Amino acid sequence: MAKRTSRAASSTKLPKKTPFSRIQNRFTGYSTEDCDCRWCRWYGGKRRGCTIVECCCLEERAQALEREQHEKMKEEENEPM
């Protein structure tokens, strides 16, 4: 009986990882748009709203708001008068 090999596994080659390889566009956190209730797993739509008692994304929302306010302040400081 012949040994079966998967063609998909043998033809797929991953790029070689070198010590000089770098990850571009590292995750820096969520934006306030990402934390919108419409994208939440427990959002029940316009009629039902949020289906859980306490928001599960509260920490992420606070971090995103703080980050965006900080970026806005930086932009205002750099604007010429």
Chain-wide mean pLDDT for the chain?
80
Q: In angstroms, how far is CA 60 from the centroid of its own chain?
A: 11
* Global confidence as pTM: 0.57
pLDDT at res. 64: 93
pLDDT, one tens digit per residue, over 50-61 is: 899 998 889 999
Question: Which one-letter DSSP state was computed for residue 21?
Answer: -
Beta-bridged to residue 43, according to DSSP, are: 50
Amino acid found at 73: M
Residue 35: count other Cβ atoms within 10 Å of its Cβ. Answer: 19
CA–CA distance, 57 with 22 (Å, rounded to integer): 30
